[in-house]
């Protein structure tokens, strides 16, 4: 962190001497004069003129540090959810006398309509994509925003770059799906953009404390 040097003006100190052989009256007067002179000298020595830089508050340069703990936590959570989905699909296929082919992705199986999920599974899926659900617009966009924020360490200058990466991922998912993604995906993308724009513009309601001075 840069610091500003304080420059002060040099002040001359005046010394006075009184004659020791003066008459008593002169001696008293000289003593008074000496006291006054010393007082003036002490006051003068204490005076300094602050430089222009000193009158301004020095700006504190912020350094941004990647939030590795948050990144790892979000990635671990994502991998667990992904594995749960794959296990569910494979388990359901086995119940129906089928299995997931080595060249097939979960996307391929879901699009094919080969999987007939149970009422319980369908109910859970609806809850997961509901307004307050784990895969709902709010929670998913918040995770995407938190991941971007953690990668940048809170640096708003990286916001546009990370939003571009999210949009690229959206396009890749659309390509893998082979058609337009469900509307909830587009809504999630827009909600994520709003959160990242708020971070970039400094209007976000809350921000992770990842900056150091």
11-44: per-residue pLDDT in tens?
Answer: 232 233 233 333 344 444 445 555 555 555 444 4
2 and 79 belong to one structural domain:
no
- Count up the domains in the chain and report the number: 2
What span, in angstroms and rounded, lies between the C-alpha atoms of 148 and 154? 8
> Could you report the per-residue pLDDT of 79-130, keeping only the tens digit for each?
999 899 888 888 888 888 777 776 667 777 777 777 788 899 999 999 999 9
Rounded CA gap, 102 and 14, in Å?
A: 96
What is the span of the domain harbouring residue 163? 63-206
- 3-state class (DSSP) for residue 109: helix
Is 213 inside a domain boundary? Answer: no
Q: pLDDT averaged over the chain?
A: 74
Q: Are residues 123 and 188 in the same domain?
A: yes
CB atoms within 10 A of CB 35: 11
Q: Which of 61, 77, 101 is the last residue of a domain?
A: 61
* Euclidean distance between CA atoms 161 and 73, whole angstroms: 22
Q: Which two tokens stand for residue 1?
A: 């962190």
Residue 25 in tokens: 């009256």
118, two tokens: 């149970």
Of 199 and 37, which is predicted with more confidence?
199
Maximum Cα interatomic distance, the chain, rounded to a whole number of Å: 127
Does the pTM surpass 0.75? The reply is no
**For residue 32, which of 52, 46, 18 has the smallest C-alpha distance?**
18
Question: 30 and 100, same structural domain?
Answer: no
Find the length of the chain. Answer: 213
Question: Are 56 and 68 part of one and the same domain?
Answer: no
């Amino acid at each position: 962190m840069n610091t500003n040097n304080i420059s002060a003006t040099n002040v001359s100190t005046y010394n006075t001497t009184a004659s020791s052989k003066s008459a008593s009256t002169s001696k008293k007067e000289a003593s008074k004069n000496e006291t006054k002179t010393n007082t003036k000298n002490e006051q003068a020595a204490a005076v300094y003129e602050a430089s222009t830089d000193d009158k301004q508050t020095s700006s504190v340069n912020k350094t941004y540090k990647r939030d590795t703990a948050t990144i790892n936590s979000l990635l671990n959570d994502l991998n667990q959810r992904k594995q749960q989905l794959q296990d569910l699909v494979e388990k359901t296929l086995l119940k129906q006398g089928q299995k997931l082919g080595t060249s097939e992705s979960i996307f391929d199986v879901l699009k094919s309509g080969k999987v007939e999920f149970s009422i319980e599974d369908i109910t859970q899926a609806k809850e997961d994509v509901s307004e307050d659900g784990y895969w709902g617009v709010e929670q998913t966009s918040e995770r995407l925003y938190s991941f971007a924020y953690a990668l940048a360490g809170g640096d708003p200058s990286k916001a546009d770059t990370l939003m571009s990466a999210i949009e690229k991922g959206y396009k890749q998912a659309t390509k893998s799906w082979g058609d337009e993604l469900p509307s909830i995906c587009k809504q999630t993308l827009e909600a994520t953009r709003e959160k990242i724009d708020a971070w970039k513009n400094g209007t976000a309601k809350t921000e992770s404390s990842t900056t150091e001075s």
